[in-house]
């Protein structure tokens, strides 16, 4: 639904409120997911002495650092993706973002705004990526990305992917933030109070849901 709305309404897609709320939602989802993934990764790492406080500290901090590195790697990959130009490349890119973005909402126990705002933000990212793609290809890509999100979400709720799913989700959301902030028209404009307000609104609503 969000893909259809943003795809057919470029004014809404490029609006400062859409951009602010969407980026705020993605950042809040990352803030929720990184500690969750770091804790899960730290729990999964075997320790030689479970009573050693120093060893526990190194393992837990190392796990959190590794999770943050995954997020930074996703963002760095979005910088390399600037070279993507073909409609086929953007189609596969949008489908991958759609599938990976479902992993974080699927890990939430009590589903709320996270399941609404994160898919909406991903749809906004996809619409921006597909802006110069021929209309039939863009529609197909948006449909496939929506299906990929729904299927991945259902599978992750049915068979939890654990720490692997969280890490992939962190990388994908960081990648989406990088791509959207790189291509959206508002990313090159001077920040306004409306942008900061929208950013805070998206962040707070999503963070409360997490």
Each residue of 72-82: pLDDT tens digit? 999 999 988 88
Q: Residue 100: which pLDDT band, with cuts at 50, 70 and 90?
A: very high
Distance CA 4, CA 92 (A): 18
The model's pTM: 0.84
- Note the pLDDT of residue 76: 92
- Note the pLDDT of residue 42: 64
What value does the mean pLDDT take over residues 151-157?
A: 91
Distance of CA 139 to the CA centre of its chain: 21
**Helix (DSSP H) and strand (DSSP E) numbers for the chain:** 10, 0
A 10 A CB-CB count for 84 gives 13
The 3-state DSSP class for residue 24 equals: helix
- Note the pLDDT of residue 94: 92
Distance CA 175, CA 210 (A): 20
Q: pLDDT at residue 49 above 60?
A: no
Going from N- to C-terminal start, the domains of the chain cover 2-6+15-44+54-209
**CB 133 within 8 Å of CB 87:** yes
Distance of CA 137 to the CA centre of its chain: 23
Q: Residue 59: which pLDDT band, with cuts at 50, 70 and 90?
A: low
């Amino acid at each position: 639904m969000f893909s259809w709305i943003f795809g057919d309404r470029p004014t809404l897609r490029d609006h400062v409120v859409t951009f602010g709320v969407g980026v705020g939602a993605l950042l809040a989802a990352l803030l929720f997911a990184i500690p969750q993934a770091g804790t899960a990764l730290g729990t999964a790492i075997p320790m030689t002495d479970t009573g050693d406080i120093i060893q526990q500290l190194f393992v837990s901090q190392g796990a959190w650092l590794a999770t943050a590195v995954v997020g930074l790697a996703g963002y760095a990959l979005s910088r390399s993706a600037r070279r993507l130009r073909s409609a086929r490349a953007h189609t596969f890119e949008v489908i991958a973002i759609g599938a990976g973005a479902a992993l974080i909402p699927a890990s939430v126990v009590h589903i709320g705004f996270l399941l609404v705002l994160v898919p909406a933000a991903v749809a906004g990212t996809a619409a921006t990526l597909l802006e110069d793609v021929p209309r039939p290809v863009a529609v197909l890509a948006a449909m496939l990305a929506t299906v990929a999100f729904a299927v991945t979400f259902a599978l992750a709720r049915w068979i939890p992917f654990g720490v692997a799913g969280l890490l992939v989700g962190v990388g994908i959301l960081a990648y989406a933030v990088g791509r959207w902030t790189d291509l959206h028209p508002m990313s090159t404009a001077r920040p306004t109070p409306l942008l900061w307000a929208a950013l805070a609104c998206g962040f707070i609503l999503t963070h409360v849901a997490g």
